[in-house]
Every structure is written in structure tokens, then in C-alpha cells.
A and B are shown apart, each in its own frame.
Chain A
Amino acid sequence: MIADHQTPPFFKRGLPASARLTIYMVFSFALLVADLRLHYLEPLRQGVAILTYPLQIAAATPAEFVRKTSDYFSGLISLQRENSRLKAHQLGVASRILLNEQLRQENENLRGLLQMQAQTPVSATAAEILFSARDPFSRKVVLNKGGRQMIEPGSPVVDPAGVIGQVTRVYPLHAEVTLLSDKDQAIPVVVERSGLRAVMFGTGNGLMELRYLAANADVHPGDRILTSGLDGVYVPGLPVATILKVGRDNAESFARILCRPIGTVERTGAVLVLARASGRLERPEDESADDTQRSSVGRVRKPVTSRPAEAASAPAVATTSAPREKQVP
């Protein structure tokens, strides 16, 4: 009997370790669920982020200093080379800039004649990538501008070459950008050559994938992919990726299309945070009617695959006006 009893504690030690472990594990799992499922923890995150920001910057500064120092000593020759390259680039761009103003006016006039919605000018904020976030399970970078500089969650982020991602979390002084190559980060796109519409998803290993395109879809390696602007988030026509590999397997109804991002993702440098494209486009009403017709006539699988392709057949702007015309007859 006596052997069963534990020795009475001489000193007050509080709860036993196992009890404390249970309590803290419950707390941690509560945090996990509240963050993943319920999204309640953004205020807490904001508060903690403000507290840790000085430490974060203190840690990032020496690393940046080292990088800048090596840049400083990078030598005269590489600078001269870069200078001449930039001058050549400038010459190439200058002619386009001269033409741009004229084309813009012409475009405005034509749009006026066609009575189409005027293109809204996009406001942009320049920012710099501080570093890439250390979470190995996702692909994110941190910008040096945040809510104080009017950066909003959801804004697309572009670098000189193309879209790199989307602002997903905004803190007062910095912001997190989820890169396009992050797993399941989606962006609606259009294939430049064929006008085919699709949704592109990140694969997580630095590449992207065009999903839900039929096995015989008109895509080839090397095709450029632009944003379609259907989502009301991304401005239409921004370059996103080039197609790397098209796998057509007869066993599957969809083609497996891998793409490489155009923007120099995951590097420090200057980027532009664009304002969200205003005005969400209405979903065309006749499309669902078309789908039901087809599914009753054709194969069962077809409507699913044909939906993006069908939307793609109409040019970008016409989607808003087309349904009204089609409804008349």
C-alpha cells in the first residue's frame, strides 16, 4: 500500500510536467485551429508583428549590409557593363514610350467609338523586397512597405519582367507577398498566342501548372502566359510565365502543363505593388445555360473541360458585352 504512494513534495513545484504539457498542447492546438480554420488570429498576429519588427530589422540589417558591401566592391567593369546594357535598353524603350502616348489616345478614341468601358489607370506603389520569409513550407517574401503606405491585402505585385505574386498579409510597416510558385496559389491567365483561358496554380517547387485544360488544348512549350483580368484582382495583360513542358497523356482528360515564372521570383530587389483592378466583371449568364445543353448532348466529361476553353473563345473585353447581345435572340 505504502509503495503506491508518491513521496509527498517538500517544495511547491506547481503542476506536474505532464499536466503542464497537456495544457500548453491544448493552447497550441487551439491556436492552430483558430488560425487555419477560423482565421481569428490576425489581430494577435498584427500585435506580435509590431513587437518583433525591431528585432527582425536588427537581424536583417547586417545581412543586407554584407550584401550591399559586396555590391559596392563589385568592380568598375561590371558597373560599366551594366551601364551600357541599361543605355541600350533605354534606347529600345524610348521609342516605345514615344509611341505609347499616341497609342493610348487612339485606344481611348476607339473605345469611345465602341462604347466600351474605359480602362481605369492603375496606381502603383514602389517597394523593395526585404527578404524571403523563412517558412520552408510556403513561398513568401517580405516587402518594406505596409499598411502605413496604403498597401492592401490582395494587391498584385510585379517586378520589371512580370507578375511575381500577391500581397496576402499586411502589417503596419511591412507586408507579406505570397509568390505565384507557392503551393495552390492561383491566378487566372490567358495564353497569349491562342487566347485560351485557364487558371494557373503554383506547384510549390518554383514552377507553376496550368490545370483543367483539355488534353488537346492549343498550347505549346514557349508560349507566353498573361493575366486575364477576369478575377478583378490582376490587371489584364501582365506577363506571368512561359510554358515549359506540355504532357499529354491519353489516360487523363487534362493536359499536364508546367510553366516557369517570368518574374525573377525570390530575389531581393525593387517591385511595384499595383492597386487592385477595380470593378469585378459580372459572370456571363448564358454560359451555364450553354453548359447544361452541352452536357445533355455530349459526353459527361466535356462541360468541365470546355468551360475554360469556352470562356477563352471570347476576347477579354467582349465577355461583359457579349452575354447581353446573345440574350436578345
Chain B
Amino acid sequence: MQPTNRSSRLLLPVRMGFVMLSLVVALGLNFIPVGRFYAVPDFVALVLAFWCVREPHRVSMGTAFLLGVLVDVVHGAVMGQHAVAYVLLAWASGVNARRLLWFSPLSQALHMVPLFFMVQVVMLVLRLFAGGRFPGWEYFFTCFTTAILWIPVHYLLLLPQMRPIDRDENRPL
């Protein structure tokens, strides 16, 4: 049996309006004040990486840069800190996009762990250079919680593109 691109069940073309909306919602989720609770997933990185994998020609580093600056301002971080990390994330997801789409959502989530980990490490290194304090090892929980959310988000964000399956014996597609 030939390998099939399992994740590419026939989908409707994506609507850019929905992509924008999902990114804005992710921004909103990122702005929820949680205080000193570290394991909060980075929703912007998650949704951004998802669209970079799914639509690498429409959502990529430019979007990542803009989102990064917005998050920097709201989190009161150093300007450009999230921008660097998100641009790298967008690039890495874009490069791996074709490969990733051959895997099931669970394996995709596993593949995303190192990428989200890279985001954390880049920000940590930048801030330590800038004279910040080390926030403790709990800081790295974020990349795991973010990667776990990849599975539900995978179905949630593809929902508008899915259409009912009506199998036709004569037409295998």
C-alpha cells in the first residue's frame, strides 16, 4: 500500500478572514493576565506555527514579525524579543511544512515540541543578555503545553475547511 498524505483529506480552500480571526483570538488569549503561572501555553506561537505549516505561502515571517512586536508591547517585554523568536518559528515551520503534513496530528505535535522549545530558548538567551533574571526551570513548561494543544487546535482550525464525507464507490477521491 502506498503511503498517503493522511492529513490532506480533501479540504476547501482556506479563507484568509478566518486565518486573521484565529490569530486575533490567539492574541487575545495571550493577553489574559495569568500572573506568575508559568505553564500557560503560548497561543500566538501555536496558531502562527499551525498556519505556517498549513499555508506557508500566505502566513509566514512577515505575520510572525508583526505578531511578535504586538506581543512584546503588551507583555512589557523588550521590543523585538518575541519578534525574533516568532520569525525563527515561522521559518522553521515553513521549511518543515511539507514533511510535517505526512504525519498524524499526534506526531505533528511531537515534531513541534523542539520548535516551541527553540522559541523559549531564543527568548531566554536574549533576555539574559539584556540583563534579565533567570525565571526558573518552570519557564520551559510552556513549550510542552503549547505542543499538546496542537492536537485540538489542528481539528478546530481545519473545521471550517472540512466538508461532509460522502463516499462514492465509483470515484475513490
Contacts and interface: CB of A to CB of B under 8 A. Distances in A.
A58 interface: yes
B91 A21 contact: yes
* 8 closest A-B pairs by CB: A131-B33, A204-B133, A31-B80, A137-B132, A35-B79, A32-B80, A59-B31, A136-B135
A35 B78 contact: yes
A44 B73 CA distance: 9
Given A28-B68, A48-B69, A136 B84 contact: no
Interface in A186-204: 203-204
Interface of B: 24, 27-36, 38, 40, 57, 60-62, 64-65, 68-70, 73-81, 83-84, 87-88, 91, 94-95, 124, 126-127, 130-135, 139
Label chain B's interface by main secondary structure: helix
12 contacts: A21-B61, A28-B84, A32-B78, A35-B79, A45-B73, A48-B73, A62-B32, A132-B33, A133-B76, A184-B131, A204-B133, A204-B134
B74 A32 contact: no
A20 interface: yes
Contacts of A132: 33, 35-36
A221 B139 CA distance: 32
A62 B76 CA distance: 21
B71 to A, nearest CB: 9
A44 B80 contact: no
B65 A24 contact: yes
B133 A56 contact: no
Given A34-B79, A59-B29, A266-B35, A48 B65 contact: no
A169 interface: yes
A82 B78 CA distance: 41
Interface string A19-49: 0110011011111101110000100110011
Contacts of B60: 17, 20
B31 to A, nearest CB: 4
B34 A134 contact: yes
Given A55-B24, A136-B135, A29 B95 contact: no
A284 to B, nearest CB: 31
Contacts of A24: 61-62, 64-65, 83, 87
A102 interface: no
B36 A55 contact: no
A63 B32 contact: yes
Most buried by A among B33, B36, B40, B134: B33
A305 interface: no
A63 B69 contact: no
A133 B81 contact: no
Nearest to A21: B91
Contact of B33 (A27, A31, A32, A63): A63
Contacts of A25: 84, 87-88
Contacts of A176: 76
Contact of A131 (B35, B61, B91): B35
Nearest to A169: B76
Nearest to B31: A59
A255 interface: no
A52 B133 contact: no
A129 to B, nearest CB: 10
Nearest to B69: A48
Given A24-B61, A63-B32, 11 more contacts: A17-B95, A21-B87, A24-B65, A32-B78, A34-B79, A35-B79, A56-B74, A59-B31, A134-B30, A137-B132, A183-B133
A203 B83 CA distance: 27
A13 B75 CA distance: 34
B62 to A, nearest CB: 7
